[in-house]
């Protein structure tokens, strides 16, 4: 009979089947938690020393061994072994091989249940910070483009039909606001992860005199968990993170969709840099917005991870269940996907050429100032619904005559309503329409400049 080297081997008469070994192993993906696991173990060794489980000399020996393992993994001299099941057992086994029997004391009072949960929270706290920094870089590029193109006018759309003229900068600032909300969601996810489960044991708590508050302070946690069963079975923080990631990807996907549309020959509002586009293997003329398309496509991948984790957790009884091992691949891939997209996006936006003349010309077609014309009548006492009908008839007339609103004469307008006077022509230009939207949040240049200034100040303050 093969020797059983598992930490739980005492209870078992047979070794784990080879197929089951491969099926249950997680070291191929949880090895990325090695830093968190070693840092946690060093802190836990000190806590065990204070609890008089380890002597000072033993603690120092364990810490030196753990530090050597950290360097060995970082320099590629130590490689996790699949047969040791996960990164946690790898580190414990390698430690025992290095320092002897004292290495077997490190797991005293600690379960892999609270160990893994603590590692995962430590990992996520760091990644939240990294992702927020990447969002800020993207926001900074949006501000730069908005400031540089403050005079550019474009058609605003509803139902993908030309609706009213807006400043291109106003359109970009809409995405700035979306990403601002995304940062808030990640900040919340970070706070949810900032709770230390260590000391909860397998589910019932730790019977050794571990100073959890001091341990939390050393590991950088804001607080400790309040219920040991909840602590080891909670993955809400991971769900919160992937939920925030899903909304962020939604926003990036919407922006990607617009970049794809705007870069078509039909729109030609922008041209993406050659560095962020690819060609066709058969059609020599093609320039495809593949980076934007992939960013749009990867949104579904993150959505899938959210649904996967929700499904894993929905039917689990208290407390830890092995199903929860499935949290890591979903979480890790979400982190990697987000960081990949956020790393490529700022430069893609910054290097895009804005075809301002084409945008401006497009805003002059499609009767985008029709609403302004209706408001003109309202200000002269015509009820809005009646004004709406009058302007609708004017638009129909323009379509039949193949002309735009701004070229109508006063005499032509008076055929539809006597309320029109000589000053009506002042409000029919796209510039006048934009300037009139001067309430807070509107597209008037004065408001957009204020929004950019306020956003720039907030961004600098957040980085200080």
Alpha helices in 160-262 (DSSP H): 168-193, 212-219, 228-233, 236-262
| Structural domain includes residue 201 | yes
Let me know whether 292 and 416 are in one domain. no
Q: Tens digit of pLDDT for each residue in 174-185?
A: 999 999 999 999
Domain assignment present for 152: yes
Instruction: Reply yes or no on whether the pLDDT at 464 is more than 60.
Output: no
pLDDT at 17: 74
| 334 and 453 fall within a common domain | no
**Predicted confidence band of residue 463 (pLDDT cuts 50, 70, 90):** low
pLDDT digits (tens, 9 = 90+) for 307-341: 999 999 999 999 999 999 999 999 999 999 999 99
Same domain as 316, residue 185: yes
Residue 381: inside a domain, yes or no? yes
Give me the torsion for CA of 157, 162, 168, 171, rounded to 10°. -10
Per the model's pLDDT, the better-predicted residue between 26 and 47 turns out to be 47
Domain shared by 174 and 150, yes or no: yes
What is d(CA 409, CA 399) in angstroms, rounded to the nearest whole number?
15
The one catalytic residue in 280, 343, 401, 438 is 280
For the chain, the straight-line distance linking the first and the last C-alpha, in angstroms and rounded, comes to 63
Same domain, 199 and 80: no
Least confident among 23-27, 89-93, 272-276: 23-27
Which residue segment(s) compose the domain that 104 sits in? 19-108
Q: How many domains does the chain have?
A: 3
Whether 387 and 351 map to the same domain: the answer is no
In a domain, 408, yes or no: yes
122 in any annotated domain: yes
Q: Where a domain ends, among 361, 395, 427?
A: 361
Identify whether 159 is a catalytic site residue: yes
Give the pLDDT band (50/70/90) at residue 1: very low
Do 147 and 290 belong together in one domain? yes
Question: Which pLDDT tens digit goes with each residue over 380-398?
Answer: 999 999 999 999 999 999 9
Domain final residue pick, 361, 386, 420? 361
Give the side-chain half-sphere CA count within 13 A for 294. 15
Question: Looking at residue 197, which CATH number applies to its domain?
Answer: 1.20.200.10
Does 252 share its domain with 158? yes
Q: Is residue 393 part of a domain?
A: yes
Residue 29 resides in a domain: yes
Detail the DSSP E strand segments found in 90-160. Answer: 153-158
Residue 2 has pLDDT above 70, yes or no: no
* 337 Cβ neighbours under 8 A, 6+ residues apart: 245, 249, 298, 301, 302
Q: Are 357 and 377 in a shared domain?
A: no
Rounded to whole angstroms, the Cα distance separating 185 from 249 reads: 13
| CATH code, domain carrying 49 | 1.10.275.10
Do the domain assignments include residue 220?
A: no
CA-closest candidate to residue 192, choices 247, 244, 250 = 244
Mark whether 325 and 370 lie in a shared domain: no
List 154's β-bridge partners, or say none.
Answer: 166
Residue range 336-372, pLDDT digits in tens = 999 999 999 999 999 999 999 999 999 999 999 999 9
Overall size of the chain counted in residues: 464
Asked if the model's pLDDT at residue 3 lies above 60, the reply is: no
Bridge pairing between strands 195-196 and 223-224: parallel
Neighbouring C-beta atoms of residue 381, cutoff 10 Å: 8
**Lowest-confidence region among 35-44, 213-222, 454-463:** 454-463
d(CA 42, CA 47): 9
Q: Residues 6 or more apart from 100 whose CB is under 8 A from it?
A: none
Q: Which position among 159, 207, 281, 409 bears the catalytic label?
A: 159
pLDDT above 90 covers what percent of the chain?
90
Place of tokens 């590692």: 119
The DSSP code for 425 is G
Picking from 330, 361, 392, the residue at the C-terminal end of a domain is 361
Is residue 171 part of the annotated active site? The answer reads no
The CATH number given to whatever domain includes residue 395 is 1.10.40.30
Mean residue pLDDT across the chain = 94
Check residue 17 and report its DSSP letter.
Answer: P
Same domain, residue pair 306 and 410: no
**Residues 316 and 244 grouped into a single domain:** yes
């Amino acid at each position: 009979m093969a020797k059983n080297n598992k930490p739980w081997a005492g209870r078992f008469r047979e070794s784990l089947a080879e197929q089951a070994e491969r099926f249950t192993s997680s070291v191929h993906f949880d090895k990325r938690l090695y830093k968190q696991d070693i840092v946690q173990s060093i802190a836990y060794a000190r806590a065990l020393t204070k609890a008089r489980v380890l002597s000072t000399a033993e603690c120092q020996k364990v810490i030196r061994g753990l530090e050597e393992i950290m360097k060995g993994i970082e320099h590629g001299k130590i490689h996790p072994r699949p047969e040791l099941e996960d990164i946690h057992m790898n580190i414990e086994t390698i430690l025992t091989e290095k320092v002897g029997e004292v290495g077997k004391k490190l797991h005293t009072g600690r379960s892999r249940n609270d160990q893994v949960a603590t590692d995962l929270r430590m990992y996520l706290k760091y990644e939240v910070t990294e992702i927020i920094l990447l969002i800020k870089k993207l926001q900074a590029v949006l501000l730069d483009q908005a400031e540089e193109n403050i005079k550019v006018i474009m058609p605003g759309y509803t139902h993908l039909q030309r609706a009213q003229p807006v400043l291109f900068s106003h359109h970009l600032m809409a995405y700035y606001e979306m990403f601002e909300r995304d940062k808030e969601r990640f900040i919340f996810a970070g706070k949810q992860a900032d709770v230390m489960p260590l000391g909860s044991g397998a589910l019932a708590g730790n019977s050794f005199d571990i100073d959890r508050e001091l341990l939390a302070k050393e590991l950088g946690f804001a607080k400790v968990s309040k219920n040991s069963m909840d602590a080891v079975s909670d993955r809400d923080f991971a769900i919160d993170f992937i939920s925030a990631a899903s909304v962020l990807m939604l926003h990036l996907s919407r922006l990607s969709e617009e970049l794809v549309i705007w870069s078509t020959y039909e729109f030609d509002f922008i041209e993406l840099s050659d560095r962020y586009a690819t060609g066709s293997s058969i059609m020599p003329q093609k320039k495809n917005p593949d980076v934007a398309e992939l960013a749009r496509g990867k949104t579904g991948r993150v959505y899938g991870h959210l649904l996967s984790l929700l499904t894993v957790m929905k039917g689990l009884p208290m407390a830890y269940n092995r199903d929860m091992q499935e949290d890591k691949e979903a979480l890790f891939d979400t982190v990697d996907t987000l960081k990949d997209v956020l790393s490529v996006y700022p430069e893609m936006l910054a290097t895009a050429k804005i075809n301002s003349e084409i945008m401006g010309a497009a805003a002059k077609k499609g009767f985008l100032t029709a609403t302004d014309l209706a408001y003109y009548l309202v200000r002269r006492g015509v009820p809005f619904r009646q004004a709406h009908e009058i302007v609708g008839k004017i638009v129909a007339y323009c379509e039949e005559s193949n002309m735009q609103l701004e070229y109508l004469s006063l005499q032509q307008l008076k055929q539809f309503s006597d309320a029109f006077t000589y000053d009506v022509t002042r409000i029919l230009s796209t510039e006048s329409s934009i300037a009139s939207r001067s309430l807070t949040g509107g597209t008037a240049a004065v408001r957009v400049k204020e929004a950019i200034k306020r956003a720039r100040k907030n961004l600098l303050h957040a980085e200080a």
